[in-house]
Every structure is written in structure tokens, then in C-alpha cells.
Chains A and B, each alone.
Chain A
Amino acid sequence: MIGYIVRRLLQAVLVVLVVTIIVFILLHQLPGGAARAILGPRATAAQIADFNAANGYDQPLVIQYFRQLGQWVTGDFGFSIKLNQSVGSLLVQRMPKTIILGLLSLVLTVIVAVPLGIYQAVHRNKSFDYVATGLSFIFYAAPTFFIGIIMIEIFSQNLGWFPPEAPQSDGIGPIFQEFDAMILPIVTLALLSIAGFSRYMRSSVLDNIDQDYVRTARAKGASPSRVLAHHVLRNALIPIITLLGLSLPALFAGALITESIFNFPGMGLLFWQAAQASDYPVELGVVIITAFATVVGNLLADVSLAVLDPRVKL
């Protein structure tokens, strides 16, 4: 077990390293390099040369990379050009908010999608299944922002149930004090993944429901509900764990959109504003952190898979 985790950890580190290399290369694709980006278009050639020398941008790429890597490892992501704050401190402020939004919507997804998928599989090819499949097709095809806009229009503008804007205050505590303002963002973000997960869950249960071991369980006199709960679900839920890990990038992307709709000051909004303002250090910092979070998420998924599935060789 320990050996497996160590091996898997090494792989994850490798992937993160490759991410940093890719980001580093992207950084050097900036028009005019980092100097032009930071000093602005009116900087003279001499100023740029001074800047490059001062920051070591005139050294060989490999050396630059390792120096950059060293900074990233210590949590030094540079300084925001526009917000006049270190990227590190911005991330510390914004990241927890996105994580809370993501986690809550993931919880909602699992709570809704898993039972829904199971129900659809058990009652397959009945009218409810058709309706649910149809809806999941539509929600899967609907851009998150469109769903968000409709949500705002219905639930805050027409019905007035929830505020149209997410909590604006700093810190995590106030989020829970103004939780009604979080409902719409969470639901919006969850709808797309509910559509995907319920379809996946449905086919995963269907994959298992005709297996020989189900027949064995029935031959033992187990009731349909026991067969489902005790035998089918134990098998059907295993791939969902992997899927949870794999869905993280999509979740982050969804969070970006959701945050921009509801003006929720998380990492996604930070990234969006940075992108509009060409604030490269912030953008790179966010990219590295999200990639890191994704890798960690996949790692957690793999480890829990190894714990839950006895067939996974450790």
C-alpha cells in the first residue's frame, strides 16, 4: 500500500514537473517576453535589457527554468501587474473560495446524480428514464453561463428567492452567513456535472446488472434491493471515483464561468480578470495551482480506488 502510494506520488510529481515546463515555455512565448509584458509597450530597449539582466532573463533557458521552478516550489509566483499584490497572497485569498464552491457543487452532484443514475438503470427504458436522459442530454449541451443566466432570471429576478450575486465579502466565514447567495452558483455549477455523472452512473449500473455474480446473488435468494445495494453498487461505484478525479479540470473551468456570472471573487474570477488585463503572473500562478490541484485530486482518486477495489494491485 505504502509502496503504491509512493509510486503514484512520484508519477504525480513528474506530471506536475511537465506542467511547469509547459507553463515556462508559454511564458517565453509572450510577445516581447516577460519584460515587455511587465514594463509595458513603451519601454525602451535599454530598459528591457536592464530588466532582463536584473531578473536573470538573459541567462540560458535551462538555468532560468530551474530558478523559476525554485521560486514556484517555494510558493513565489511573482507579483501581479495590475492588482499590486503578490500572486501568492492573491491565491491564498481566492483559492479557498473556489474550493468551497467546487466541493459543495461536487457533493450536490454526487447526492443527485448517483441515485438518479441508479434509478434510471433499474427502471431503464421507462418514461422517467427517457425524460431524465433527455434532460441530461440538454444540460450536458447547455453552456454553463446560459444556465446561470436563466437561473438568475427565474430564481432571483422573477421569484426573488435568491440574490443574483454571490457573497462578496473576504474570507470563508461570510460565505456561510450569506449562504442563500451561494445556492444559485452551486446549483449552476452542479447541473452540468449532474448531467454527465447520472448518465455515467446509469451505464455503470447497467454494465454490472447483467453480470454473472448478480445471477449468483439472486440464486442465493437475495432481494432485488439487496442485490443492488450489496452487490451491484459496490462494483458500479468504483469507476465513479476515478471519474470524480478526472472531472476536476472541468469543474475548475465551470467554476471560472460560474464565478464570472455570479461575480464570486474566487480563483476563476481572478483568472478571468487577469486574462482581460493581460496580467501574466496571475494567470500563470492560477494555471499552475489548478494543475497541481487536479493532479492531487487524481492522486486521491487513485489511492481511494486502491483502498476500495481489492483487485487493484498494490
Chain B
Amino acid sequence: MPLLDIRDLSTDIQLSKSVVHALDHVSLHVDAGECLGLVGESGSGKTMTAMSIERLLPPGGHIVNGEILLDGEDLVKLPEQRLREIRGVDIGMIFQDPMTSLNPVVTIGDQVAEPLMLHRGMGKSAALKEVVDMFGLVGIPSPLQRVKDYPHQLSGGQRQRVMIAMALICQPKLLIADEPTTALDVTVQKQILELVARLRAEFHMAMILVTHDLGVIAGNADRVVVMYAGKVAEMADVHTLFAAPKHRYTDALFEALPERVAGTGERLYSIPGLPPDLTEPPPACRFAPRCRFAVAQCRAEVPPVTTIATPYGPQEFACIVPRTTPLGMPEPRDLRTTIPEVARVEAAELEAGMELSLVKDDGGHDLGAHGAGPSSSDARSWVAPTTFIPADGTPLLQIQEAVKDFPVTAGAILRRHVGDISAVAGVTVSIPRGQTLGLVGESGCGKTTLGRMVVGLDTPTSGAILFRGRRISQLRGKEAKEGRRNVQFMFQDSYASLNPRMRVRSILREPLDIQHVGSPRDRNDRVDELLAAVGLPARAAERYPHEFSGGQRQRIGLARALALQPGLIVADEPVSALDVSIQAQVLNLMKELQRDRELTYLFISHDLSVVRYLSDVIAVMYLGKMVEVGPAATVYAHPQHHYTRGLIDTIPIPDPVIERRKAKLGVRGELPSAMNPPSGCRFRTRCPMAQEICARVEPPLQPGGGHEPMPADELAAATAKAVAAGTVPHLVACHFPINGHAAADTLTDETAAPDPV
């Protein structure tokens, strides 16, 4: 008998005027001691499934059908009183955001002790004693002092450790972890996942791991349930699923992963459209409208569940046209692929919208079958860089010794200066025209500040930022205003960056109005062109931002950034809030626009796989310092800095074989405070190789690393050589780089080989 058996579970959420059918006849089970991965995009019902188990549904949520058997006892019918005895005792839960999930005004010791006092009848002091032991187990340093702390006094990683301690304090049989690491940095994510895995083995617990991240699943789950639009699409053990997915949704999800095509220059597959609205779900297969392989039957009937045997156990899927070959192997030609329904509708909408503008300028628009991409044929229009940028070898953007300190003040009346946050501490880097510089690092490393300085939202404390050799911050008056056109910004939060009270037309016209581009009539035409360029129909112009999905809003943000025909776009985490399938749409679009319009990107992200997909050059920042920079393929394949290496190690790879074999290296600890950065090499406090010299001497950023700064002419020669080859030299700031000093010898080979992208 499985530990947990969910049968035919349906959950509805009653809204003020409609009912969301969040779960529709979901069946799955968890065996004792096993880790079940529950994966899906937002709105797929994965969280709702997890919350239904203990009936912790949001207001209006209620189970309408099915049973949830825990050790044979049906939790659905259980009276609330008895269910409370199960919550926290038999089942422990970890939630996504540890900041909001902990009570801000109760000490963490009391919060963790609560289950013991509730269920074990312990007194407070006895319970706190156990809490201290538990804190030690989950890796909270000096637990005796910490029990009296409040949640806001801890770092994000520590808070999640507290959540884990709280979930495990009564040693439950089942742990439900709902996106336990989504709010955390990758380095911390790895630590937390390893901790959970260790404790799970120690306590012989079963676990349901809810996540949107296939990489996390690959490394942790034994069996995986893929959910789509409130239904189970596919269930298989982790090895089978990642090797030979059957359901077309799972298949498409894998193809949309940036890792799959990284470095090949191939176009990322993007699933068109959006998941369906669950107030009125599609009657037949819910994925059919977005599916490349859908046949008439898919749109006519609910696909039955097929079970096949695999060496690791059964594989179940609800698909009429399942994938016939393992992943990575081409499928036989005779399989008919069609343009998905939504893509056709999208294209038709675009076409309809374009007719309006075609009246004025005739010209064909070959719309990509995916509807996500623009055509190259409208490059003649004025949605292209206005100023001719000669390819004379001058880098488009040069950042020279840029420093940004944010003063920290104390006192309400007499604001006294008590210190500086060293956000960016002397960064030098340049981007050649038409290329993408990917800037990676943990949150708090200064990457966003650097991006904001490039667009002029922050002024450097010292150092210079040069656009085509001219200092942006020194331009004045009209020149400054027009200089702004060259560099535009794409914000992370597409909702916050678009004025909710303005229609899309006004939003896109705003930059044109400010810069007095063309006549008002021209500007309206330009709005239509911009919308077409980002794959949105012209009627989108009359809408408000809240009417769009996240991916569509991010396209609007991109269109606004394009409006002034900039040479450089700084994109700050533009896809980090988006689901994998939607993320691919935006990434493809950015790449196509770059090709068509010779755009240069400064692409900021914490996600190395996304950066790898889009970038020609990768720059790694740590606590305000550039620690490594070089051609993307080289940095990714042969990282020289221990931090880069650690970052790459921490990225969960959506391949269970690789992910499980990976050395458990990662990066220790958490980012130190930028107010008192470590002396010498800032990374030394977390570095496995740190020596005495690392604390004394700051390592120079140069080819092959080392202690002694390289003579300027040698550095210049190396740079010139790389530039001549159309790339940049591979630089690292480390006393003891990986590969040791031999790296300097291999450098020539690596830089000579042009990046394939």
C-alpha cells in the first residue's frame, strides 16, 4: 500500500463571479521513503494538489471529488479536529517564500517549537531544547542564540532552514515541499536541496517536491508527475521521463529548455500561446491547442491514460499522439506536425493587425509559424538603429573602472554617514557591437547596479561608462537627451515597469513623444510596427497592461525599449519571472531582433543556462567585482574562477544522470555583506582554495589569473588578438585559478577559436 494515494481528486476555487477548476480528477501516489517530483508551469495545479492534501486551500477553495488516502485513512472526509493531528505530525510542509511564511512577530524558536507543544504536549523549555538540536541538524550556526531571533534577522537561506526545521521537528512520514528554493539564489538552492536530501535519508521520509524547475526534479526526484492545466499529463520514474518522455507537453517542455540548444546557435523551441483559462477548460486534451502534433481526435475526446512498462517501473501518460522515440533521437518523418491552433490564431491576428499598417506601406510580412518571431523583412522600416554605427573596432560599450557606493546613513534627524555599500567596485568590461554580454552572479552581486549605471539610472561614484567612446554621464542638454536614445532598458518586473493606467499605445508612444520623434501620426504608425515586431497584434495597442500575460507584457517592455531604435539594450532579468515555455518565446524574440537589427545586449541574469543560451560573452560578478569574463562557450566549458565553477555546479541540470553524478561542490555559505566586503579577494570567505595571500592581495583580472599584474602591453596584445578573432580574451581574477598556471598556455587556443554562436 502506498503511503499517500490520491484518487480522482478535483478541487475548485470559487471566485466572486466564476469557478476555477484548479484540479480535475488527479490521481497519483507516493510510496514510503520515495521522493515524488510534481512539476508543471504556474497554474498547472501542482501547488493546488499539494495544498489539497492537508486541506490548506486558499479562500474559496474546496475539494469537490475524490479521496486522499494517507496510510489508508481518507483525509478528505476526516473531521478538521483529526486532520489537525496529522498536520505537522505525519505531514510536514515547506513553502516557497520563507519570509512571508514565517510569522514576523514571533521568535523562530517559538515557531519551530509550536508543533512539539501542540502535538507532543511538551513544555516550552523542553520543546526549545529540541529546537536547538534541530537547528544544529539543519545547519543553523550557534542555534542557542538564534532561537530568540525573529525571521527578519536571518538571511533567506537561514529562513528556509528554519522552515525545514519546523516541518521536520515531529519527524513526519511525508514532507511536502512547495517550490522550496524558488525564492533563493542558486548557490543557496543547492545547499538547501542537499540538506533536504540528507535529512530525508536520515528520517526515512517520503517527500513530494513541487517545482517548476526540471533541473531540480532531475537531481532529487525518484518519480515524476507532470501536470498541465489541472490534470496529470504524465507519470514516470525520473530516468525514463528525462530519457523518453511520452506526453507531447513534456516533450515540448524539454525542447523549450535553453540548456538543450546552448552553444549550438539553434533556435529554442517555444510552445505557442498560454495555458488555458481554468474557469472554462478545453473539453478534450487541454494541451491540444498548443500542440504541434494534435490530431482531430485530440480536440474531440479526453485522452485516455496509457500505461507502459519500463525497466524502472510503469510509465503513464494521457496523450493520443505520444512521442515515439527517446529524447535526442529524431522521430520518423511520417509523423505529421502541424502548426498548433493557437499559433495559427496568433498569426491570423497579427496578419489582421498588419493590414492596417500595410495600407500605408505595402510589403509582405512572413510571419514565423510560431507567431512569436518577427520577420526580417521589416528591417527597412525605421525600427532599426538610426545612427549608423561603423564597425571600426571601437567597442559599442566600454565600462572602465566603474564604482558605485551607496551611502548608508543612520539617525532620523542628523543623518550621519556610517558607511558605504560597495555595490560595484571597479568593473572594467566592454561589449562589441552586435553581441550579447551576459552578466551573471547571485542577487546582491551588483549586476543590476551595473546595468542601471549603463542606462544612466544610477551615476557611477567613479570610473566611466563610454558609449562608442563617449562618456554618457558627461553629455549635457539636448545631446544628453538624444544620447539616451542609444541605450534602453528592459525591466525585470513587466508589471511594475508599465504604467497600469496607460494603454499600450500610450506606453509605446511615450519614448517617441519625449524625444519628439516624427509627427504624431508617424508615432502611431511606429507603435503598430513595434507591436508587430514583438509578435503582438495591432489591437493590443488599445489594451491596458493588466490584460496581458507576463510573457506578453515583457514583449511590450521590449517593444518600448526598441521604440527609440537603440544600439544597446540593457535587459535586467527579463525572463526570470516567466515559465519555461513563455521564457523561450521571449528569448527567441530577443535573439531574432538582435540578428535583424544588429542590437547589442547587456543581458543580466542569475540563471546561467539562460545567459549561456543568449550570450556571446559571459561576465561573472561577485560582490561588486568582476571575477571572470570571456567567450561564453569557453567560460562555461572551462571556468577558471572557483566561483564560476561553483555557480556552474550549482545549476540543476535537467538530466538525472548528469545531475546525480555531479560532484557535490557548489559554493559554500552565503554572500557576505557588501558594507564590509572581505579584504583581498572578495570571494575568499567561500572559496575552497583560499590561501593566506587571498586575504592580503586583490587578484588582478587578466588572462590566466595569478598574483602579479601582467605587463600592460602583454594584456593589450592578448586583447587585440582576441578582438581580431571577433571575440574577447578570457580573463580571470584569481590567485589560484582552476587549471593552475597552465591556463595561460591554453589561453591562446581558446581565444583563437571563435565562439560558434
Contact = CB atoms under 8 A, between A and B. Distances in A.
Indicate whether A and B are direct neighbours in the complex (CB within 8 Å).
Answer: yes
Interface of A: 7-8, 10-11, 14, 210-213, 215-223, 226, 230-231, 234-235, 238, 308-311
A219 B106 contact: no
B105 A235 contact: yes
28 contacts: A8-B412, A10-B413, A11-B413, A211-B100, A212-B97, A216-B93, A216-B103, A216-B163, A217-B114, A219-B54, A219-B56, A219-B92, A219-B167, A220-B114, A220-B166, A221-B84, A221-B85, A221-B87, A221-B88, A221-B89, A221-B119, A222-B114, A226-B118, A230-B114, A231-B103, A235-B105, A238-B105, A308-B105
- 10 closest A-B pairs by CB: A221-B87, A221-B88, A220-B88, A212-B100, A310-B150, A219-B93, A213-B103, A212-B101, A221-B84, A7-B412
A311 to B, nearest CB: 5
Given A8-B412, A220-B88, A308-B105, 17 more contacts: A11-B413, A211-B100, A213-B101, A215-B101, A216-B93, A216-B95, A216-B163, A216-B166, A218-B87, A219-B91, A219-B92, A219-B93, A310-B104, A311-B104, A311-B105, A311-B150, A311-B152
Contacts, number: 85
A311 B54 CA distance: 31
Q: Is the interface of A mostly helix, strand, loop or mixed?
A: helix
B330 interface: no
B388 to A, nearest CB: 53
B412 A212 contact: no
B518 interface: no
Given A234-B103, A310-B150, A215 B56 contact: yes
B712 to A, nearest CB: 47
Nearest to B86: A221
Contacts of B166: 216, 220
B59 interface: yes
B115 interface: yes
A277 B412 CA distance: 43
Interface residues of B, number: 35
B227 interface: no
B241 interface: no
B58 interface: yes
B411 interface: yes
Interface string B98-125: 0011111110000100110011000000
Nearest to B87: A221
Nearest to B163: A216
Contacts of B102: 213, 216
Contact of A215 (B88, B95, B114, B118): B95
Nearest to A232: B103
Contacts of B150: 310-311
Given A215-B101, A221-B86, A7 B118 contact: no
B412 A210 contact: no
A56 B468 CA distance: 71
B104 A220 contact: no
Contacts of B163: 216
Given A211-B100, A310-B105, A221 B118 contact: yes
Interface in B409-449: 411-413
A140 B97 CA distance: 39
A220 B118 contact: yes
Nearest to A218: B56
B338 to A, nearest CB: 43
Given A7-B411, A212-B95, A219 B100 contact: no
A213 B150 CA distance: 13
A226 B81 CA distance: 13
A70 B84 CA distance: 66
B412 to A, nearest CB: 5
